[in-house]
Structure 1
């Protein structure tokens, strides 16, 4: 047997097997007897041949001998983890058996060895996140050297359904993977959780993200606008529109503005309150009233027994420059969305107000 000089796994019938296996996986294949004969002949030549075992298993499956097929495919899996069809069959089988963790581990192997076939599998992983046992199985895979992690996050965070299952997965990690190209997905996850009013989950996610300042969760100062190290809305969002927005104009000072006939939110930030009785404190530095223009704080409670209640300040353009003011948060509020609303009215020039010394007081 000169073939054995090439090793026990050498397969001189490889080309014939490759040709037939492509036909075998197609719907309506009728040549199972030929496939069985060729696979058995291949195993006599090279007993450690996972491809031949898989062909025999698929023939068993075709005749409803599922247990025999499974046994052969488990043997093929032990011989080689690089056969995509074997991994996919076993993943589907484990899923049907309710063994979600085992199913996802086979998908992990398939994603690592067949990167060209990732999109449907990553969709499957993202869908599985709704199951607690799936999140438990996927959690060990959420490390920086997992080759498919960036594509997985991209798909999971863009799903039209809630991102809460992905949030629960990230919140369960000791720390989220430090991968530069995941920053966009992290930003989308945090922003979407706030949009879904999942503020408590957003906080649990945020503390696991790399390169963020945890203190920003409990701070309304302008530090996160001047030196952003995190994700909106935990850090200040000064917007990206040209007709309204905000900008840092000095140490601890920001200008909030709106153009003529424009009204809307110029800046916003989420903040979590560590105790009852806190208030937003600030100093009005500059800004003049006139022609119906206005600028005021609007605070909306998003977590706690006061959720959905809101308060707003007086028109800050009518307050003398240099005045220090405060706006109490609603009683029973655990987290709030703080917004600066500016109304440009019909003024000829842009409406602007400059504030400084933003902070929380009791």
Structure 2
């Protein structure tokens, strides 16, 4: 049995997890403070009071300032500089040796924050920015101060500048931005920065798309941007969103996103022209909008183009004791009567083997079965017709093929050919 070169996986590979810690050195000092104030301002927008603060390590080596310990307070609400008096002394000595020194001004700003002198901190960091707009720490500190003042667009400009200057800070900044995507106003401000061809845009999409809490916001953010270009990160983002939005039953949002992203990002040469995707043989694209298959060698499937136009062939299998859905496809179908046509035969490895189709309407709160087939292993040869009616209130239809192996014995295999979908009643 040929089981190589599986067509599509039902499960995205890999998991992008944020690397988060609580404390940092002076190189991260402003980034920590920026994260604190930025996220505190976001928490003020959230009725739950949830705080997405993330303080992670980032070091920009500047001696001897790096010897000073800087981190978040225990309650994660403010910056703390250990021995602030000594820190201020070192910063001033550094300025005497090198007046054009944004790092020293930066430290003085952090010391001022530790002492609750917000106005003085703002003055120091403003001077630091005048010396260099490419100091990532100062930009993040300015972003935090702008968020406190509710100047959200300005805050995101500073974050954009920091990310362009120091791409290495993305593990610290991306979790904060991803969490903030739940706010529609924030998405609007962020989209302004992304329209300026931010070089970190697609990598942020890929990161945010991997976070279940941020998938809806990521899709909505992408829909608000025109002229998206294909890239490796864009393909990763779309594949993850297709899986996630299906799981969360946000299929209308998925439908609009699929029609919006670059065709190459979903494996197509041309942009889809019909949102219904009536052609069940669509093999390109991202599952489950395109055919998705289980790649497990003990219980999986292959999907390939059939000989007849608009058809597919499916080879599914299951070892004894295994059973699951092996192939799925989402379909946005108009209301009315439909028929799934197929020819099939199976090789049964023992008693208890079963294979069947299931067609379900996927709704936000619950699925409704529209029809299911008889056991393909025992149905005999010849063309089969599985009819179902799509009701008016059905946003999307999910077609599934399951294969369950025998209770004991060898592997069971089913071969379906000329699988196609036709509208209306058939004889």
Task: Please indicate the TM-score interval, normalised by the length of the shorter structure.
Answer: 0.7 to 0.9
SS in structure 1 opposite 2:235? helix
Query: Which stretch shifts more, 248-257 or 125-134?
Result: 248-257
Residue 359 of structure 2 aligns with which residue? 299
1:341 is matched with which residue: 402, 405, 408? Answer: 402
How far the C-alpha of 1:309 sits from its partner, in A, is 0.7
Residue 10 of structure 1 aligns with which residue? none
Residue 259 of structure 1 aligns with which residue? 318
Residue 343 of structure 2 aligns with which residue? 284
Larger CA Rg, structure 1 vs 2 = 1
Deviations 1:150-169 (Å, cap 9, x if unpaired)? Answer: 44234322325352121221
Mind listing any 5+ residue stretches in structure 2 that lack a counterpart? 1-61, 71-80
- Show the 5 A alignment for 1:147-162: 147-159=199-211, 161-162=213-214
Residue 172 of structure 1 aligns with which residue? 224
CA contact (8 A) 2:102 2:129 kept: yes
CA contact (8 A) 1:287 1:321 kept: no
Deviations 1:64-121 (Å, cap 9, x if unpaired)? Answer: 4423432453354355311222212111112222333322221111111122333111
CA contact (8 A) 2:160 2:198 kept: no
1:352 is matched with which residue: 397, 414, 417? Answer: 414
In 2: Cα distance, 1:65 partner to 1:165 partner: 36
SS in structure 2 opposite 1:178? coil
CA contact (8 A) 1:219 1:360 kept: no
State the TM-score, normalizing by the size of structure 2.
0.67
Deviations 1:102-157 (Å, cap 9, x if unpaired)? Answer: 22221111111122333111211112111112211221344695332344234322
In 1: Cα distance, 2:312 partner to 2:93 partner: 81
Q: Measured at CA, do residues 85 and 334 of structure 1 come closer, stay the same or move farther in structure 2, by a change above 3 Å?
A: closer
Residue 233 of structure 1 aligns with which residue? 288
CA contact (8 A) 1:255 1:353 kept: yes
In 2: Cα distance, 1:246 partner to 1:41 partner: 69
How far the C-alpha of 1:40 sits from its partner, in A, is 7.8
Aligned pairs, how many? 336
Query: Which stretch shifts more, 54-63 or 172-181?
Result: 54-63
In 2: Cα distance, 1:343 partner to 1:271 partner: 24
CA contact (8 A) 2:208 2:214 kept: no
CA contact (8 A) 1:284 1:319 kept: no
CA contact (8 A) 1:256 1:342 kept: no
How far the C-alpha of 1:194 sits from its partner, in A, is 0.9
CA contact (8 A) 1:300 1:338 kept: yes
In 2: Cα distance, 1:69 partner to 1:189 partner: 41
State the TM-score, normalizing by the size of structure 1.
0.78
In 2: Cα distance, 1:216 partner to 1:295 partner: 31
Residue 6 of structure 1 aligns with which residue? none
SS in structure 1 opposite 2:261? coil
In 1: Cα distance, 2:105 partner to 2:328 partner: 61
1:134 is matched with which residue: 177, 182, 186? Answer: 186
CA contact (8 A) 1:233 1:268 kept: yes
Mind listing any 5+ residue stretches in structure 1 that lack a counterpart? 1-17
2:253 is matched with which residue: 192, 197, 201? Answer: 201
In 2: Cα distance, 1:59 partner to 1:243 partner: 61
2:140 is matched with which residue: 82, 85, 88? Answer: 88
1:219 is matched with which residue: 256, 260, 277? Answer: 277
Residue 298 of structure 2 aligns with which residue? 243
Residue 192 of structure 1 aligns with which residue? 244
In 1: Cα distance, 2:394 partner to 2:190 partner: 35
Task: Kindly report the root-mean-square deviation, in angstroms, between the aligned alpha carbons of the 2 structures.
Answer: 3.4
SS in structure 1 opposite 2:421? strand
Q: Measured at CA, do residues 256 and 93 of structure 1 come closer, stay the same or move farther in structure 2, by a change above 3 Å?
A: same
Q: Measured at CA, do residues 34 and 223 of structure 1 come closer, stay the same or move farther in structure 2, by a change above 3 Å?
A: closer
Q: Measured at CA, do residues 53 and 270 of structure 1 come closer, stay the same or move farther in structure 2, by a change above 3 Å?
A: same
Q: Measured at CA, do residues 282 and 30 of structure 1 come closer, stay the same or move farther in structure 2, by a change above 3 Å?
A: same
In 2: Cα distance, 1:126 partner to 1:253 partner: 39
SS in structure 2 opposite 1:224? coil
Q: Measured at CA, do residues 319 and 172 of structure 1 come closer, stay the same or move farther in structure 2, by a change above 3 Å?
A: same
In 2: Cα distance, 1:217 partner to 1:288 partner: 37
